[in-house]
Structure 1
Amino acid sequence: MKRIEQKVEDTWCLEDMFESDDFWEEEFGRLQRMIFQYEDFEGTLGESADSLLEYLKFNDETNLLMERLYVYANMRYHQDMANSMYQEFAARAQKLMVEISGASAFAEPEILEITTEKINIFFNENPELETYKRYISEILRGKNHTLDKKTETILAKSRQMANAAENIFSMYNGADIKFPSITTEEGEEIEITHGNFVPLLESTDREVRKAAFEGVYETYGKMRNTLAATFAANLDQANFYAQVRNFSSAREMYLYGSNIPESVYDNLIETVHKNMDKMHKYVSLRKKILDVSELHMYDLYTPIAKAPDTKYSFEAAKDIVLEGLAPMGEEYIKVLEEGFDNRWIDVYENEGKRSGAYSWGAYGIHPYVLMNYHGTLDHVFTLAHEMGHAIHSYYSDANQPYVNAGYKIFVAEVASTCNESLLIQHLLKITEDEEEKAYLINHFLEQFKGTLYRQTMFAEFEKIAHSMVQNGEGVTADRLCEIYYNLNKKYFGDDIVIDKEIELEWARIPHFYNPFYVYQYATGLSAAIALSKRIIEEGKPAVEDYMKFLKGGSSQDPIELLKIAGVDMTSAKPIETALELFGNLLDELQKMTD
C-alpha cells in the first residue's frame, strides 16, 4: 500500500504540530535568525538574576522550537522514507540542531563560574528563576568534574577522535560485514543479515538455526583480533575521560548523568546471581519441551509455545488494551482513549514507512506513536507498550515546565513495560484457552530471559571489561572470549551446551560502544513488574503514587521519582519481586507441560 492510499483516520495528525509544510519552513527561518541572538547573551549570565533568567527563557524558546521542527521533519520522513522532500527536511533540522548546540556552548561554563553564594542571591532576587533551580543545580553538581575553559575546549575537540572506535565498529558491522547464505526450511537460499538473524534462530528447523548461528559467529571470528582492538580502544577512551574528569571509574562517570549510585548496578548483578537457579530451570524446561537430547545456544530463541492464530483488528486491540489497563483508573484511561480517538497513532504499514514501533513527540503537543500493525497478539502488546511511553510523556509535559519535562533513560522503559505487565496479567486471568495461556506465559518468560537475565549478563561483562582497562590489564580477543564464554556458563547452567561460537557474541553487540547503558533495561523491567504488582494488589493508593512518578519528568533524580511510586531501586526488593513472578510463571508453564 502506498502512503497516499492510507485512510486518514489510520494516520497520525502531524498537523497538530505544524499545520502545513509551509508553516514549518517559516518557523525554520525564524529559528535560523534567532540563533544569532545567542551572541548577545555571552558574557552576561553572571551579571544579574534578570540577565540569567532572560537567557534561560530564550534558550527554552529556541530549544522548544528546534524540538518541534526536528520531530516533525523526522516523523514526516519516517512515514515514507523514499520522500526526498522530507529527507531534506530531516537533514536540515539535524544541521540546525548542531548549530544551536555550538551557539549555546558558552552557557554552562559561564553558569559554573557563578559562585553558589551569588546564585542563591539571584534566586532570592527573582522568584521566576525557581523554575530553573533543578536545571542550575544539575549544572553545579558537575562542578568537580568540569575543567578550565582551555581544557574543556581541548576535550570537546577530542570527541570526534574519541568516537573513532564506535564509528569503525558501526561501519564494519553496518556496511562491510557479509554473512554467508544458508538454506531455509522451505529450501530457499538466503543470505544471513542482521535483520533476519533472530528470525532464523526462531526457525522450527534445527539445522537452519544451527547454520545461522555458526554462519554469524564464523564471520565475526575472522575479524576477532581487529574487533577486540576496536572494543579495547573504546574502553580506553571511556577510561581516559573518567580519569581526566576526576571520576573514580568510567562506570561512575556514565552513571553520574542520572545520579545513579553504583550500588544499584552491583545490586542488580548480585540479586540476579542469587536467582540463577530460576534461569537454569527455564533452560531445563526449554530442553524438555523441545524434546532434544542436547540443548544448544542456537535453541534459545525458537518458540516453545505456539502463537495463537487469532488476528485482532485494530479496534479490537484498542478494546483489549483498555480492558487490560483498567486498574490504572479513570483518569489514565481517559488519556488513553484521547490518544486512540484523536489520531495520535500511525497504525498500518505502507511502502517506504520506517519499520518497527516507537513513541515520540515535542513538548506542548500531544505525543505520537508509530506502528506497523499486523493484528497479532504481539502487536497488541506493542500498542500497550508504546502508549505507555506516550502517556508518560503526556503527563510529564502537562505537569512540568519545559526544562524539567524530559525524563531520564533510567526510567524510560518503566511506564511502557508496566503497561505490558498489567495487560498480560489481565489476559492470563481471563483466558480459558490452554494454548493461548501457554503462549502468554512464554511471552512473559521470554521478556525476563531477554531483558532481566541477558541484559544483566551484558552489564556484568561491561563491568569486568572496563575494570581490566582501569587495572592496566591487556584486553585481547582471547581474554574477552574467555570472560564472555564463562558468563554464559554461569547464566545458562549445565542443561545446555555452551557452544564455542557464543564466546564471540560480545563482538556483535553495538550497545557495548555506549558504555553502561544496558543495565537500565534490566532495572526498568524490575521496576515495572514491581509497580504493576503493587497496582494490581493495592489499587487506588498505588495508582496515585504511580501517577506522581509519571508527572515527575526530570524534576527529581529518577531513583527518587521511583521511590515516590513505591519502588526503591537502591534495594534488592524490586528485582526479587520481578524474579519471584518469573519463578511462579515458570512453575505454571511446567505444570501445563507435565
Structure 2
Amino acid sequence: MKFKEMPYERIDSKKVKEEFEQLIEEMKAAKSGEEQYEIHKKYYALTDRIETMSTISQIRHDGNTVDAFYEAENDYYDNIIPEIQDYSSRYLRVLYESPYREYMENRIGQVAFKNIELKLKSFDEKLIPLMQEENNLVTTYEKLIASAKIPFQGEELNISLLRKYMTDKNRETRKEAWSKLSEFFAGHSEELDDIYDKLVKNRTEQAKQLGYDNYVELGYYRMNRNSYDKDMVKNFRDQVKKYLVPYVSKIHELRREGLGLSALKYYDYDMFFSEGNPAPLGTPEEILKQGKAMYSDLSPETKEFFDFMFENELFDVLGRKNKRAGGYMTYMPDYNAPFIFANFNGTSSDVDVITHECGHAFQGYVYREYEIKEYRDITMETAEIHSMSMEFFTDKYMELFFGERAEDYRRMHLQDAVIFIPYGCMVDEFQHIIYENPGLSPIERKEIWASLEKEYRPEMDYEGDLYFMGGGFWQKQQHIYSAPFYYIDYCLAQTCALQYKTKMDEDYTKAFESYLKLCKLSASDFFVNMLKEVGLNSPFEDGCIEEIVTKLNKYIF
C-alpha cells in the first residue's frame, strides 16, 4: 500500500490501557509456557498497531510541522506515549517474572529478557509527568530548528536548504552561508540554552527518582546497552584519541594542500576539492530511479527491497519549508513497511540518503516477517552498521549518480567517514560530562565543548566567529537534545563499516554475504557476539582502531 493511502486513526489511550490490562490478566492466568506465548503474540499485535499509527502521525507531522491536524496529533503522542510505556512495562514485568520463563526465553531469546530487564530498570509510573515534559521539550527544539527562515542571496531558506551553500565551491559563498547559520543559532542561543538546561534537569530528576546517581546509567539503559558499559565506551574513545585523531589531522593537512589554502577554516571543513565537492547529476526523481537500478544489480534481496519501497512511495525526501530538518528511517509494522524521511538539497548527501537510510530500510525489510518481534528490536550501534556499511557496498555504483566525478565522491566519502569518528566521540564525551555534572551553567557547558574540540578536532579554526569559538557548535547537533548517548553508536558502527570496506576490496562477495548475515541476525544475539559471528572485530578491543588506521593508508595516502 502506498504511504499516502495508509489510513490513520488516533490511538485511544483508554482502550489501549484496557487491552493491556486484559493481556496482563491472561498472562498471569496462563497454565503453560505455550499458552503464554500465544498471549504474547497478542501483545505483538497491540504494540504493532500503536507503533504504526504513531509512526504515520510522526512522518506526516515531520513533513509539515505547521500542519494543524498532525501538530495536534504529535502533541497528543508526546503525552500518551509515556502512559503507554507504563502499560507495556507492567505487562513485561509479568512476563519477566513468569514461572514459565525458561520456555519463553527459549522462544523469544535471552537478548529479549535482558532488554526487558533494562526497560524495567529505566521506567516507573511516577516518571510519566517528567517524560511528558521531556517529549514536549524535544518537540520545542525540533520546531525551533524547523522554523528557521534564513535570508541568503535573495532567498529565504531553512537549515536543510542552506546546506548546499555551505559546501559551495566559492569560498566566500560558503563562508557567508556558515555565517548565516551561526547568526541563526547565536540569535536563539539563550532559548536553546534554556531548552537544554530544562532537559538536563528533567532527565537528571528522572534518574534520581529511580535511585541512580545521575542520568548516565539511566541513559545507557534507555539506549539498550545490553552488552557493554561506559568503561568499554571510554576505552574505545581513548583508542580514537590515540590513533585516529592524529591520523585525521593528517587527512585535513592533505585536504588543505589539495584545496590550495594557507589554512583550513571551519567553513572549509566539509570541502574536499577546489573545484567543489561532487554533486549528484539529475533531479531527485532521477536519483531515486538510479537508486532502483543500483539495488536491482547489487543482489536479488536488495532488488526486491527497493522495488517495494519505490512502488509503495515510501520516501519523503524533497527539502521544503516547514519540514523537519535531518533524515531518518522508520518502520510501520502493520504494513511490514520501512519509510525513509530526508531533505534533498542538491549535494552529495542526497545520494547518502539512497545508501545510508536505505541500509537501515533494507535491514528493516529483511526482518519484516519475523514472528518474534524481539528479534526486530535492534540496538542502535547494530542498526548503524547496516546503514554505514551499505554506503561502502554501493560505492562501485557511484558513476550512476556522479558520472565522471564518481571517484572523487568515493575518495571524499571515505575521508569523511574517518573524519566523523572523532567528532562523534566528542559528542559522546560531552554528554557524559554534562550528565555527570548536571549543575553546570550554559556558559560552562560551552566552555567544555570548546575544550573538547581541542582534543578531538585540534585543527578546527573558527576564524573569529564568536558563537562557534565560544563553544556553541553543539547546539546544532539534534541528537544531543533528542537522543542522549545515541551518537557513539555511529562511531562504533563506522568502525565496523570501515572493516567491511577493507574486506570487500579483498573479496566483495564474501563481505556482502557477511553483511547480509548480520542483517538477518537482527537482534537475535548480543552486539559483540554477532560481530564475532560475521567475522568483524569488536571496536572495544584494544588494537581495533590501530589496525583500521594501518589498513586505511593505501586508500587515503
What's the TM-score, normalizing by structure 2?
0.77
Q: Does 1:456 align with 2:429?
A: no
Q: 5+ residue gaps in structure 1?
A: 1-11, 147-151, 588-594
CA distance in 2, matches of 1:167, 1:523: 30
Residue aligning to 1:268: 236
The alpha-carbon deviation at position 418 of structure 1 amounts to 1.2
Residue aligning to 1:5: none
Q: 5+ residue gaps in structure 2?
A: none
Partner residue of 1:486 out of 446, 451, 473: 451
Partner residue of 1:132 out of 90, 105, 108: 108
Q: Does 1:571 align with 2:556?
A: no
Change in Cα spacing, 1:348 to 1:544, as seen in structure 2 (3 Å) is closer
Q: Does 1:13 align with 2:13?
A: no
The alpha-carbon deviation at position 59 of structure 1 amounts to 1.1
Partner residue of 1:119 out of 94, 97, 100: 100
Q: Contact 1:296–1:497 at 8 Å: present in 2 too?
A: yes
The alpha-carbon deviation at position 518 of structure 1 amounts to 1.0
CA distance in 2, matches of 1:361, 1:175: 25
Partner residue of 1:442 out of 405, 412, 431: 412
Q: CA RMSD in A?
A: 4.7
Alpha-carbon deviations, 1:106-152, whole Å to 9, x = none? 213333444xxx335x62xxxx8743344762266459948xxxxx7
Partner residue of 2:513 out of 529, 532, 544: 544
Paired residue type of 1:267 = N
Q: Contact 1:250–1:466 at 8 Å: present in 2 too?
A: no
Paired residue type of 1:415 = H
The alpha-carbon deviation at position 446 of structure 1 amounts to 2.8
Paired residue type of 2:366 = Y
The DSSP-based 3-state class of the residue aligned with 1:398 is coil
Q: Does 1:59 align with 2:27?
A: no
CA distance in 2, matches of 1:45, 1:467: 40
Partner residue of 1:403 out of 374, 379, 383: 374
Paired residue type of 1:211 = S
Residue aligning to 1:466: 435
Alpha-carbon deviations, 1:358-404, whole Å to 9, x = none? 43333362434456668865433422323222220121223452332
Paired residue type of 1:119 = Y
The alpha-carbon deviation at position 519 of structure 1 amounts to 0.6
The DSSP-based 3-state class of the residue aligned with 1:360 is strand
Which shows bigger deviation, 73-82 or 37-46? 73-82
Q: Contact 2:226–2:526 at 8 Å: present in 1 too?
A: yes
CA distance in 2, matches of 1:307, 1:448: 17
Partner residue of 1:240 out of 208, 213, 233: 208
CA distance in 2, matches of 1:88, 1:173: 15
The alpha-carbon deviation at position 347 of structure 1 amounts to 7.0
The DSSP-based 3-state class of the residue aligned with 2:368 is helix
Partner residue of 1:512 out of 464, 480, 483: 480
Change in Cα spacing, 1:256 to 1:392, as seen in structure 2 (3 Å) is closer
Q: How does 1:307-456 map to 2 (within 5 A)?
A: 307-308=277-278, 311-312=281-282, 314=285, 318-319=289-290, 322-323=293-294, 330-336=299-305, 338-339=307-308, 342-343=311-312, 345-346=314-315, 349=318, 358-363=328-333, 365-370=336-341, 378-425=349-396, 427=398, 433=404, 436-449=406-419, 451-456=420-425
Alpha-carbon deviations, 1:197-226, whole Å to 9, x = none? 655543531651563365356436667985
CA distance in 2, matches of 1:129, 1:444: 42
The DSSP-based 3-state class of the residue aligned with 1:157 is helix
CA distance in 1, matches of 2:293, 2:145: 45
The alpha-carbon deviation at position 235 of structure 1 amounts to 6.6
The alpha-carbon deviation at position 38 of structure 1 amounts to 3.3
Q: Contact 2:309–2:315 at 8 Å: present in 1 too?
A: no
CA distance in 1, matches of 2:71, 2:446: 41
The DSSP-based 3-state class of the residue aligned with 2:27 is coil
The alpha-carbon deviation at position 552 of structure 1 amounts to 1.9
Paired residue type of 2:440 = V
Paired residue type of 2:248 = M
CA distance in 2, matches of 1:241, 1:333: 46
Q: Contact 2:134–2:202 at 8 Å: present in 1 too?
A: yes
Alpha-carbon deviations, 1:554-576, whole Å to 9, x = none? 22223322332222323256544
Q: How does 1:167-316 map to 2 (within 5 A)?
A: 167=136, 171=140, 174-175=143-144, 184=152, 186=153, 188=154, 194-195=159-160, 198-199=163-164, 201-203=166-168, 204-205=171-172, 208-209=176-177, 211-212=179-180, 215-216=183-184, 218-219=186-187, 229-230=197-198, 233=201, 236-237=204-205, 240=208, 243-244=211-212, 249=217, 253-254=221-222, 256-273=224-241, 274-302=243-271, 304-305=273-274, 306-308=276-278, 311-312=281-282, 314=285
Q: Contact 1:283–1:492 at 8 Å: present in 2 too?
A: no
CA distance in 1, matches of 2:214, 2:112: 21
Change in Cα spacing, 1:318 to 1:288, as seen in structure 2 (3 Å) is same
CA distance in 1, matches of 2:66, 2:455: 46
Change in Cα spacing, 1:280 to 1:391, as seen in structure 2 (3 Å) is same
The alpha-carbon deviation at position 333 of structure 1 amounts to 4.0
CA distance in 1, matches of 2:355, 2:18: 43
The DSSP-based 3-state class of the residue aligned with 1:367 is strand
Change in Cα spacing, 1:77 to 1:133, as seen in structure 2 (3 Å) is same
Q: Does 1:501 align with 2:467?
A: yes
Q: Contact 2:115–2:224 at 8 Å: present in 1 too?
A: no
CA distance in 1, matches of 2:320, 2:200: 41
The alpha-carbon deviation at position 91 of structure 1 amounts to 7.5
The alpha-carbon deviation at position 582 of structure 1 amounts to 5.7
Q: Contact 2:376–2:522 at 8 Å: present in 1 too?
A: yes
Identity among equivalent pairs (%)? 15
CA distance in 1, matches of 2:294, 2:155: 44
CA distance in 2, matches of 1:367, 1:179: 29
Change in Cα spacing, 1:309 to 1:562, as seen in structure 2 (3 Å) is closer
Paired residue type of 1:552 = L
CA distance in 1, matches of 2:28, 2:478: 42
CA distance in 1, matches of 2:443, 2:319: 46
Paired residue type of 1:362 = M
Q: Contact 1:349–1:371 at 8 Å: present in 2 too?
A: yes
**Larger radius of gyration between Structure 1 and Structure 2:** 1
What's the TM-score, normalizing by structure 1?
0.73
Change in Cα spacing, 1:580 to 1:219, as seen in structure 2 (3 Å) is farther
CA distance in 2, matches of 1:143, 1:351: 37
CA distance in 2, matches of 1:46, 1:533: 52
The DSSP-based 3-state class of the residue aligned with 2:369 is helix
Alpha-carbon deviations, 1:314-367, whole Å to 9, x = none? 5676556755895x6x44344245436643544774988956654333336243
The DSSP-based 3-state class of the residue aligned with 1:568 is coil
CA distance in 1, matches of 2:393, 2:69: 41
CA distance in 2, matches of 1:100, 1:172: 23
Which shows bigger deviation, 209-218 or 169-178? 169-178
The DSSP-based 3-state class of the residue aligned with 2:329 is strand
CA distance in 2, matches of 1:365, 1:544: 23
Change in Cα spacing, 1:221 to 1:280, as seen in structure 2 (3 Å) is same
Residue aligning to 1:8: none
Q: Does 1:529 align with 2:498?
A: yes
Residue aligning to 2:18: 36
The alpha-carbon deviation at position 253 of structure 1 amounts to 4.0
Q: Contact 2:83–2:128 at 8 Å: present in 1 too?
A: no
CA distance in 1, matches of 2:317, 2:145: 32
CA distance in 1, matches of 2:11, 2:147: 41
Partner residue of 1:108 out of 72, 92, 102: 92
The DSSP-based 3-state class of the residue aligned with 1:567 is coil
Paired residue type of 2:27 = L
